[in-house]
Amino acid sequence: MIGSEIEKQINIFSGYVFNKLAHIFLKNDLLWFFERLKREKALYHIKKLDQQIPPLVFVGLVLAEDRRFYEHRGIDIRAILRAIIHYLQYGIVEGGSTIEQQLTRLLTNRYEKNIQRKIRELLLSSCINEILLEKKDVLGVYLNLANFGSNIRGIEQICHELNYSFDQLIRPPEVSEVIARIKYPQPLSVSVNSSWIKKLKKRKTYIAIALEENQLIGKFGKNYLNCLPKSKINELLVDRYPTPKNILEAVKDMEAKEKEYFLRSFMSEGIPFVFSKMPLYYENIRQLIAETLEINPRDILIIGSSRLGYSLKPNKYGQLVDKNSDIDFNIVSFNLFKKLEKCFLQWGKEYRYLYKKLKLSKKEKNSWENNIKNIPFSIRKGFINPIEIPNCYPLLKNIESLRIEMTNDIEEFCNDMPKTISLRIYKDWLSFFKQNILTLDYLLKDIKK
């Protein structure tokens, strides 16, 4: 366990180093590469493939092509070292490419067998997560572009070729039939006794058996069975707004990945408790925020007591939401996060050289000093609270005006709802889940005490 965690950290650090090198040595290439990635990501979502491709297809792809996919950021050091050793010892050139590297080859259409191309590919693949923020999007965009055979590009075309609908890709045999063709693309014409048929059959069997035996169960935690329909956890969480006791009972038996499932189902998706009687009004507010800040409405959510109807904070556990509670809006947006980070850095410079000359009250001065010190820590954790930065920049003024407008609307239309609105901006979903899993862990530790 410790070894795998160390390897994961090495992979993350390696990805970071390769990413920085790419931005230094491949500036011009990155501009084109990022534009292409954005275009393919947009196409993937416009076609709504993210909503149509069954989860088992993603599991099969990871199992067949990149087992450590969730443990790296585009660079798998173990696979690289193994390939180098085998080449030096036996002169064998083997694969070992991550899915990000394979996606890079599809995007650049470069397949030369030389070290220069391989290094360039490694550098570019380490930058993919800057555009495809979620691992699932990496898999989806890859499947939309993958070569499944002669004149067969993308998962839609191979499904058409095999006469499958997406609804049929829920069993290992059908999934293995599709995924096997990534390693062995279908030739233009196939003879009955061709070597391709034999290789494909062997590959299909390998993938199907692995899926049947749940060889990826480790990726989802030891207690994966807790997620099955008749599990204790599911029984405790059958209501949209479970009781505090039920949540505590369910969470204490969850592995890390299962806590992420819980956060996704109960803390980031669906209608929050305070808007349960006016769901369209909630969607209207999300649209207002999205249009004002130029972000996707799907990346806006409410957490905290307003989401469940009671608090999960250790010192307020089970306390019901009331007029004195906060409506905690969270936004997951890399671009907005970076803009706010830029505002903070600008404010930091101006504070040191200009604001010290301003006449501030003791309370204001202490507040500003604390924020100057503390905001960098939250940035490293992947989130920013805009209210902690003075609204002396256009973006901050926009956010504050938006917050006031929403507060006034809620006061006018919803007398029995919380009146205080707060906003927190996360860099990505990984940061969101990581921070909120910490909150759950603190709650469990506090209850045990």
Please check whether residue 365 is in contact with residue 323, taking contact to mean a CB–CB distance below 8 angstroms. no
Question: Strand, coil or helix: what is 41?
Answer: helix
- Structural domains of the chain, ranges and CATH numbers in brackets: 2-218 (1.10.3810.10), 270-448 (no CATH)
- Residue 141, classified by CB atoms within 10 Å of its CB into exposed (0-12), middle (13-18) or buried (19+), is buried
Residue found under tokens 């050139």: 93
Please check whether residue 336 is in contact with residue 425, taking contact to mean a CB–CB distance below 8 angstroms. yes
Closest CA relative to residue 59, chosen from 99, 94, 96, 97 = 99
Cβ within 8 Å of residue 417, ≥6 positions away: 274, 323, 327, 410
CA dist 14 and 125 (Å) reads 12
Give pLDDT tens digits along the chain (449 positions).
444 667 778 888 888 899 999 999 998 899 999 999 999 999 999 999 988 998 889 989 999 999 889 888 898 888 888 777 766 766 665 656 899 999 999 999 988 878 888 889 999 999 999 999 889 999 999 999 999 998 899 999 999 999 999 988 988 899 999 999 999 999 988 776 688 999 999 999 999 888 876 544 444 444 455 666 667 788 888 888 889 888 888 888 887 778 888 888 888 888 999 898 888 989 999 999 999 999 989 899 999 899 999 988 888 888 898 888 889 999 999 999 999 999 988 888 777 666 656 666 777 777 778 888 888 999 999 999 998 888 888 999 999 998 888 888 888 777 778 878 889 999 998 889 888 888 888 888 877 66
Question: Strand, coil or helix: what is 70?
Answer: helix
For residue range 27-63, what is the model confidence (pLDDT) as tens digits?
Answer: 889 999 999 999 999 999 999 998 899 888 998 999 9
SS3 per residue for 239-270: CCCCCHHHHHHHHCCCCHHHHHHHHHHHHHCC
Give the H or E element holding residue 152: strand 152-153
Both structure tokens of 447: 């209850």
Backbone angles phi, psi at 342, to 5 degrees: -65, -40
200-204: long-range pairs with CB below 8 Å, 24+? 203/64, 203/176, 204/173, 204/176, 204/177, 204/180
Cβ within 8 Å of residue 105, ≥6 positions away: 97, 111, 121
Cβ within 8 Å of residue 251, ≥6 positions away: 259, 262, 440, 443, 444
Give the H or E element holding residue 81: helix 77-90
pTM for the full predicted model: 0.52
